[in-house]
Structure 1
């Protein structure tokens, strides 16, 4: 159906600040699969590290993988660690989560680790950890580089504060074991950097754009190649994105851009500073679209964005064609009246 490999990073549906609504959460994954998108499970969009703890994430991964009706990948991190762990502790934590994801039958996504960023002394420590992880995977994995806009605690990742030096270190890890890397997800919100990195990847290693500001041009690509996608914005815009991607597969790039264009202002608004609160807008739109009965997030994160921000998200979502205006307006008015 598509000529790009695409994943939507999926949110979780909450019944209260601490509890996942499993039926609604899994139903939403089937919604994504029904449009031909893969599901990226237990990632940043699912409030990983911002309300979703590892035991619940592990259950989420197992449940989603057991029901998979399309591609599924899932986040491997170290977020169950406490205190000030050592490098060996970080490696063991990664390996423990890797076992869960591989046993569930999902493709692993090696996420950035706050704990690794805190204890690593330089690029050699990242090489030690990631090299060992790649030696222990049963299938090629996706490496995830999450920028500080999404998580300020990841400053200096790959052992360097300068992006160019960090990129060199990142590419050295990939070049040492290219057969173990399906692709890299880059979430730095810098299209020029992503294009430059994409052109330096070993043959056969994909670049999955995580740029929620510039995704249409990166997915469309240029004469030197294109990006595939693993995007949080594909959660609320799945039906529209699927139509656009189908046109791209038919060779109609102009129509791809025409369909995608109205989603970009929406995405840039949802991911505006502070970017890590974008989950609030994603869940808000899922509620306005009728995918869940309550506008709630784990940890009470629904309060992270104000009324004006949400009102603009609603307006832009209507323009992008991702919600029904009449249904959304009724829910919006009911929510305003209940405040």
Structure 2
């Protein structure tokens, strides 16, 4: 079966015939032209109770196999991040086990791995000291697993901090405890509304000034910064102002091709949830860029952009549903269930559009399987008979 009916936003059904599958060239060695991480999702155990509020239970075989898929295309893995449903269904006990297992896989494959250290295991942390202690606990866990630390933005810190100086003081203590340079993660409120006003101000230029003050004061302890504000102009300005040797890992899932390509003076590296969905195509683009073939880089990346922008459409924090759905369509997991029941967070119309765009980008390796699964999903949802 290669043809099916797909719903449109206007309430109609439209015939769709899948294109021919594309064969992507593996790239088992890490990319060198840019440092790239794909923020990977997790696969729920279909035989476990992963309903909202329950502890996360994962299909470990499928979850780890997906990381090997990313490694096979030269991607590092950013583990236990918001893509893996931190603060949206993935509890810290499961996240800590995920970090340990994924780090073992990365060592076996000679791949890079970095993992999120936050404060989500301590929702009752209300003072700056308690928030700092919570951060230090997770930093220790990530380091013990052998992964690079990504210092995640903290909901507890956003609630406890009264001034920009509070952020600087807490982060100074966390950075002092890091054994190796870390990645700082500035996650915008479009990804998590509870992070509004991070760095002490809702005015982005003011918050940026505080962020840069931290980076300059502790440059030797910072490998890079990941900024997820979906503002390409802000990212260009910020990366030009960073201390020498501190990378800008783009988190802009709307504009990453141009930011990674660079402007001839500066470029961004990448730590992207989008790369979990488009890894083969992004890998082909990066391989071309490494060879100096910018035309092929532009073409390969451009083919992924409409898909990524649709995955991350508002409400942006539900993008994880699209990432898991695409993995299911591509055959990387047996089911579409998610921890916390998050598979219900996007409509059938939205997911059908992802199907169209993934097909156009050559990212459905087995069109027959993808069409069968899409049809089954639409039947379950009452879209087709």
Unaligned ranges ≥5, structure 2: 1-30, 51-55
Give the equivalent residue in structure 2 for 1:232: 273
Give the equivalent residue in structure 1 for 2:141: 100
| 1:230-289 C-alpha deviation (Å, 9 max, x unpaired) | 000000111111000000111111110101112111111010000000000000000000
- The answer to whether the aligner puts 1:310 opposite 2:351 as a matched pair is yes
Give the equivalent residue in structure 2 for 1:9: 39
CA distance in 2, matches of 1:15, 1:336: 22
CA contact (8 A) 1:2 1:248 kept: no
**Which structure would you say has the larger RCO, counting Cα contacts within 8 Å and 6 or more residues apart?**
2
Selected match of 1:218 from 254, 259, 271 = 259
Give the equivalent residue in structure 2 for 1:298: 339
Give the equivalent residue in structure 2 for 1:126: 167
CA distance in 2, matches of 1:291, 1:334: 17
Selected match of 1:89 from 130, 136, 149 = 130
- The answer to whether the aligner puts 1:198 opposite 2:239 as a matched pair is yes
Cα root mean square deviation, aligned: 0.9
CA contact (8 A) 1:78 1:115 kept: yes
SS at match of 2:252: coil
SS at match of 2:314: coil
- The answer to whether the aligner puts 1:136 opposite 2:177 as a matched pair is yes
Q: What is the Cα deviation at residue 224 of structure 1?
A: 1.8
| 1:100-156 C-alpha deviation (Å, 9 max, x unpaired) | 000100000000000100110111100111001111110000000000110011011
Give aligned pairs, total: 339
Q: Equivalent residues in 2 for 1:8-87 (5 A)? A: 8-16=38-46, 17=50, 18-68=56-106, 69=109, 70-83=111-124, 85-87=126-128
Give the equivalent residue in structure 1 for 2:328: 287
Selected match of 1:243 from 261, 265, 284 = 284
Greater Rg by CA: 2
SS at match of 2:277: coil
Selected match of 1:255 from 296, 300, 305 = 296
Unaligned ranges ≥5, structure 1: none
Give the equivalent residue in structure 2 for 1:330: 372
Q: Which runs of 4+ in 1 moved over 3 A?
A: none
CA distance in 2, matches of 1:22, 1:62: 12
| 1:185-217 C-alpha deviation (Å, 9 max, x unpaired) | 010000000000000000000000000000000
CA contact (8 A) 1:277 1:304 kept: yes
Structure 1 length normalisation: TM-score? Answer: 0.98
Structure 2 length normalisation: TM-score? Answer: 0.87
Q: What is the Cα deviation at residue 2 of structure 1?
A: 3.2
